Structure 1
Amino acid sequence: MRVEIDNLGIPPLAGLCSYDEACKPGFSIDDNVALLRRFNYVKTRLHAIYSAHIARTPEWEVKSAFSLHLWLDAEHAASLRKRVSEMREPPLYLDKVPDPGLEKLMDELIRSDTTIELLTGIYAVIKPEMIRSIRRHLEETNPLTDQPTCRILKIILREEEEMQAWGEQALAALTREANDAALSRHWQEILRFYLLDAGGIFGDLLKPEMQHPAEPRSDGTRYEMDAMPRRDERFTDPFNRSAEIDAYYKDENRESDERTYALLYKRLREMDVPEWMGPILYKTTGKPWEYYTDISRQLWDEARHAMMGEVGLYAHGVAFYKYPIDISSSVSLNTRFEPLEAHTVLWAIEQGLMNKNTGKRWEWQIAQKSGHELATLFQDYDWADEVLHSQIGRKWLLPEYGSLENMQTQVEPLWVKWGDGSGNTKHVSNHKPWWNDFVQEIRERRDGTRQA
């Protein structure tokens, strides 16, 4: 039985829903928490998968997207964890496996061997199922009593759909050949079996009747990541260190335009930072989730900086992969350093960038004086980001070392170790000079004298 309510023509219930919609039973607190734990678990594992594969994934565009999606999944997990804490007193069991079936699924997914398998598992299996599960949660929960959850899920859903749209296009681009498409279908079939066996992320799907399609790749132990940075075949001579880019933009005897081009290339080169931060994230365990959201934000910012450089070269008519981008530094950090050591090196670099006479403020001034509006904008945001990153580094490293003095004493030996390791790759390249060709090409395209 319902009664007519005179609301003076004003939408009732703060516009959340109708009276009838607010009368549906929805989820109990226990059921709601159980579902959010499942969502959080998948988000947390996706974050680890991105972290484990950013370095070894060769396609620049995939590295860029993984950097963004890693941060978004970290933020989503943080929101879900907070919501659970609002509904239940500790212990919250947010770091416990909610379903052995989901664990098996994610253990197989992280062992994807190629970019095609990764994209298939994430964007053809997990993300569509996450979208379906969130939509069902929103449909079934009470929109009034559970409004805080609904708000969080609506935000997550929108960003999930954006991630999924990218993933579908990327997977389609890499599976144009019949053999690649067949590989994708086969891996999707295997992971789909595990997904169904777990009842889906929501837990409502029927278990498969078919036999297991393949032997599991996981032996039940933690996945050992491959931290070696890789670039695809478009990138030439990735260990070429002939260009002293940092020295070029600092050299006041060089023309202002060349100094700004050096800054754009420095931004481009920053893709090596996500490549060395991925292993830091994956290998560092047992931290509060705030640690992973903070470091993930920094990783995404660094990828964003590299894309600024990518756009800067595009604006000058130069493909970002045409000239060498040295990866020897990240190779050294990823193969010879423990996570704490690599993070300390990163913090030391950021501290050096805070100097107003030689750091980020100065870089912004160089771009500004050159009259290059786009580079000035990029440097402005790069400067702001690096201030944040310096704070993040101090926030999480100080407790490890006990004091700023102890932390600073570790920098010099780590700096030497890093330089020694970077030098080990010198023999991989003949270090053919290329910088002058790069600057000449940009100037000719700028002045309209470059022949097509």
Structure 2
Amino acid sequence: MLKVKIDNKGIPPLAGICNYEKALNTGFSVDESVDLLKRYNYVKKFLNQIFAAHLARTPEWEVKCAFSYHMWLDAEHCAAIRKRVSEMREPPLHLDKVADPKLKSLLDEAIRSEDTLELLVAIYQVIKPEIIRSIKKQLDKANPIAEQPTCRLLKIILMEEEEMVAWGKSAISALIQNEKQEQKAITWDKHLTAYLQLAGGIFGDLEEEIPSIPEPRADGNDFEMDPVPRRDDRFKDNFNSAGLIDEYYQDENRSLEERTYALLYKRLREMDVPEWMAPIIYKTKDKPWEYYVDMSRQLWDEARHAMLGEIGLYQGGVPFYKYPVDLKSSMSLNTKLEPLEAHLILWAIEQGLMPRKTGKHWEWEIATQSENKLAVTFQDYDWADEVLHAQIGRKWIVPEFGGLSQAREASGPAFKKWGNAMEEYLDWSKQENWWPKFMQDIEKNKSLRQNL
């Protein structure tokens, strides 16, 4: 092809997006691009549900944190994809339909992963690498000017997908401790890859012949999640609530340092919120996608808060798993209450955090009076997040009960039911008060640092 010499006055042409040669790509038609976007949307929507279905029962703290983050990213990606589809002569209809029955078969197998290792293999070794491969192929073939809004969106998703897969690969390597686990990972990878190839991949271009498809784990029914929250063997005495954190930070007779560490431990303890929100998200069907985006965002924020506590204890020289992190809340809410009741309680708690003199503003003030500058930052952002969460709860819960006063009235019986449910777990621990030992550790580490 004859190349035309263009005088661009030395300025990069085409808004710097690409050169003329790349811009000559015929690319995809609008319909072809929409079809691909719908496939990404379907897979990512299902991934959000896989994370929600397994977060509570997954025992490894670090995996809970990553699942919380990644399910929000997938929800956000879905929202952006749906918006882009609505801009392309295609109203955002049919985006909640099955994009391809063969893709559904793959995802129905993936959600039935039996343990953490299988889950990580399914998500980060099979499905997400295929998302990356498909996006890269679409970006390579798309016309970068005609389809610039789509390409921009895909580049953002691609960057975050690559970060997620990098984490997942490291986590898989850490979990494979022996030959049996390695073989388990290989077997599950082969099982899912067969279903992926049968679907032609997400892009629809895989043509490798599959001699036989492995016997499916799926039985044609919806997957029923296990809502029981679990922690790994680093955590001890998981139902010990003898450390009265909520009382300690409010007690003005205690030192500001102790009150601030009580706040940091309160942040750590917030891992029970993602554990109880995940079943709400998974079991609540047929809501607008905005609901799942909002709820996934709140779930991720709560996991971040637990991580802030983890970091705060690290600063104090105490491993986050050394002392009890109570499980009674998520255990009781997940197993004894309905999803709407659990969400109603969450909403009521968030509303109670808003008063200036007793809520999040007061927690921030306590931290500002201490010498712990990191805690000030953490409480500042925790406060901002909880204001958002109160709005999210009001947005989705109040209409369920027909108004604000009705929701408040309904919360009373729900709290009573929850209180009765939690009593069952008091005998699961000797309820020995560990807080004095925790503060002794903090003081000892503080002395060691000062003497260095």
**TM-score normalised over the length of structure 1:** 0.98
**Deviation, structure 1 residue 291:** 0.7
Alignment of 1:296-445 (within 5 A): 296-445=296-445
String of CA shifts for 1:397-442, please: whole Å, max 9, x gaps: 1221111010110111111111111111111111122110001110
Q: 1:90, CA displacement in angstroms?
A: 2.8
1:138 corresponds to which residue?
Answer: 139
Q: Distance in 2 between matches of 1:24 and 1:364?
A: 55
Alignment partner, residue 254 of structure 1: 254
Task: State the 1:89 CA deviation.
Answer: 3.3
For 2:38 and 2:133, the matched residues in 1 are separated by: 16
Q: Secondary structure at the match of 2:87?
A: helix
| Partners of 1:444 and 1:450 within 8 A in 2 | no
**Could you tell me how far 1:212 is from its partner in structure 2?**
2.1
Question: Which letter maps to 1:118?
Answer: L
Give the deviation of 1:449 after TM superposition. Answer: 8.4
Counterparts of residues 49-448 of structure 1 (less than 5 Å): 49-90=50-91, 92-213=93-214, 215-448=215-448
Q: Is the 8 A contact 1:60 1:232 kept in 2?
A: yes
Amino acid across the alignment from 2:299: L
Distance 1:274 1:241 in 2: 19
**Are the equivalent residues in 2 in contact too, given 1:193–1:208 (CA < 8 A)?**
no
Aligned partner of 2:217: which letter? Answer: R
CA 1:287 to 1:449, structure 2 compared with 1: closer, same or farther past 3 Å? closer
2:41 aligned counterpart, secondary structure: helix
CA–CA separation in structure 2 for the residues paired with 1:24 and 1:244? 65
Cα separation, 2, equivalents of 1:249 and 1:31: 58
One-letter identity of the residue aligned with 2:48:
H
Cα shift at 1:91:
5.8
Question: CA 1:413/1:450 → structure 2, altered by over 3 Å: closer, same or farther?
Answer: farther
Distance 2:53 2:37 in 1: 24
Aligned residues of 1:198 and 1:207 also touching (Cα < 8 A): no
* Partner deviation per Cα, 1:22-71 (whole Å, 9 max, x = no partner): 12210001100110000111000000000000000000000000000000
Q: Distance in 2 between matches of 1:83 and 1:176?
A: 43
Following superposition, the deviation at residue 4 of structure 1 comes to: 2.0
AA partner of residue 105 (structure 2): K
Secondary structure at the counterpart of residue 250 of structure 1: coil
Q: Measure the CA separation in 2 of the matches of 1:220 and 1:372.
A: 54
Name the SS for the 1:20 alignment partner.
helix
State how far apart, in whole Å, the 2-side matches of 1:297 and 1:48 are.
Answer: 14
Q: How far apart are the structure 1 equivalents of 2:413 and 2:178?
A: 49
3-state SS, counterpart of residue 389 of structure 2: helix
**Distance in structure 1 (CA, Å) of the matches to 2:88 and 2:234:** 51
Q: Does the aligned pair in 1 maintain the 2:82–2:92 contact within 8 Å?
A: no
**Residues 1:91 and 1:364: Cα distance change in structure 2 (over 3 Å):** closer
Aligned to 2:177, the other structure's residue is in SS state: coil
- Which aligned runs of 4 or more in structure 1 are off by greater than 6 angstroms? none
| Percent of paired sites with the same residue | 61
Q: Deviations 1:118-148 (Å, cap 9, x if unpaired)?
A: 0010011011111100000100110000000
Per-residue deviation at 1:86? 0.5
Corresponding residue SS for 1:90: coil
Once the 2 structures are TM-superposed, how far is the Cα of residue 207 of structure 1 from its aligned partner? 4.2
Which letter maps to 2:421? G
Cα deviation digits, residues 155-192 of structure 1 (max 9, x gap): 00000000000000000000121111111110001000
CA displacement at 1:2 relative to structure 2: 4.0
- Which whole-Å deviations, capped at 9, do the CAs of 1:287-329 have from their partners, x for residues lacking one? 1111111111000000000000000001111000000010101
For structure 2, the 5+ residue unaligned runs are none
Measured in 1, the distance between the counterparts of 2:422 and 2:255 equals 30
- SS of 2:39's equivalent in the other structure is helix
- In the TM superposition, residue 256 of structure 1 has moved relative to its aligned partner by 1.1
Is there any run of 5+ residues in structure 1 with no aligned partner, and where?
none
Does the C-alpha gap of structure 1 residues 225 and 450 become closer, same or farther in structure 2, counting only changes over 3 Å?
farther
- TM-score, scaled to structure 2: 0.98
Quote the Cα distance in structure 2 between the aligned partners of 1:3 and 1:144.
Answer: 19
- Is 1:16 the equivalent of 2:17? yes
- Asked if the contact 1:55–1:276 (Cα under 8 Å) also holds between the matched residues in 2, the reply is yes
Equivalent residues of 1:441, 1:450 under 8 A apart: no
Partner SS state of residue 18, structure 2: coil
Shift of 1:450: 11
Q: CA deviation at 1:243?
A: 1.0
Contact 1:280–1:343 at 8 Å: present in 2 too? Answer: yes
Alignment partner, residue 44 of structure 2: 43
Following the alignment from structure 2 to structure 1, what is the Cα–Cα distance between the partners of residues 172 and 89? 40
RMSD of equivalent CA atoms: 1.4
Contact 1:316–1:442 (8 Å) recurs in 2: yes
Contact residue 129 and residue 200 of structure 1 kept, 8 A: yes
Deviation, 1:387, is: 0.3
Quote the Cα distance in structure 1 between the aligned partners of 2:62 and 2:322: 15
